[in-house]
């Protein structure tokens, strides 16, 4: 398949490109991609894959703060990874993840993401591993455990801390992970 790949910051994307990304994500998540999810996808680096003029795959990495063992880490959090339904399982997810992992490796302590059951095989195959400890969020009213995120939160990189204890993510509206 003849594809082109581009990596750009949100600020470099045109309004038409942003509309195209949102349309791809809405279709890929079958109506389960909210305005908060969209907001979480913005403000970082995007990897775009085109087949001819058509956007067929996307992902982004944004900065988040994570507390672990008394330390605050600057983490590259992967968001909005999607491949057009008719082109899945053709390596396009890997074309999205490779530049995002380069950004994580160069700019962050480690990477993190929340994987769906369908998406998890892609991340495992690329060396991402499930966080073995607790998952929490630092909410406006204090630390809140997120047991439903345990087993679906993946980490990657050379500086991933020991998996004992909790990863406590910064607060954001909508789904916090």
Q: Within a domain: residue 177?
A: no
Per-residue pLDDT reduced to its tens digit, 37-80: 999 999 999 999 999 999 999 999 999 999 999 999 999 999 99
In a domain, 176, yes or no: no
Q: Please give the Cα distance from 134 to 138 (Å, whole number).
A: 13
- Residue 38: which domain range? 4-170
- Domain of 48, CATH number, reads 3.40.630.30
| The total number of structural domains that make up the chain | 1
| Structural contact between residues 56 and 49, judged by C-beta atoms closer than 8 angstroms | yes
Q: Cα-Cα-Cα-Cα dihedral of 120, 124, 125, 127, to 10°? A: 150
Residue 175 lies in a domain: no
Model's pTM, two decimal places? 0.96
């Amino acid at each position: 398949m003849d594809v082109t790949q581009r990596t750009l910051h949100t600020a470099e994307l045109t309004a038409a490109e942003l509309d195209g990304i949102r349309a791809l994500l809405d279709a890929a998540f079958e109506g389960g991609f909210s305005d908060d999810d969209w907001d979480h996808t913005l403000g970082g680096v995007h990897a775009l894959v085109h087949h001819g003029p058509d956007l067929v795959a996307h992902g982004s990495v944004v900065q988040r703060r994570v507390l672990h063992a008394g330390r605050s880490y600057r983490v590259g959090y992967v968001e909005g990874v999607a491949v057009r339904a008719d082109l899945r399982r053709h390596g396009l997810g890997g074309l999205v993840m490779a530049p995002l992992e380069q950004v994580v490796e160069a700019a962050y302590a480690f990477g993190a993401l929340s994987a769906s059951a369908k998406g998890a095989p892609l991340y495992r195959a690329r060396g991402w591993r499930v966080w073995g400890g607790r998952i929490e969020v630092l909410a406006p009213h204090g630390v809140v455990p997120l047991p439903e995120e345990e087993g679906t939160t993946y980490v990657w990189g050379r500086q991933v801390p020991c998996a004992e204890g909790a990863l406590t993510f910064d607060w954001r509206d909508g789904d916090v992970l």
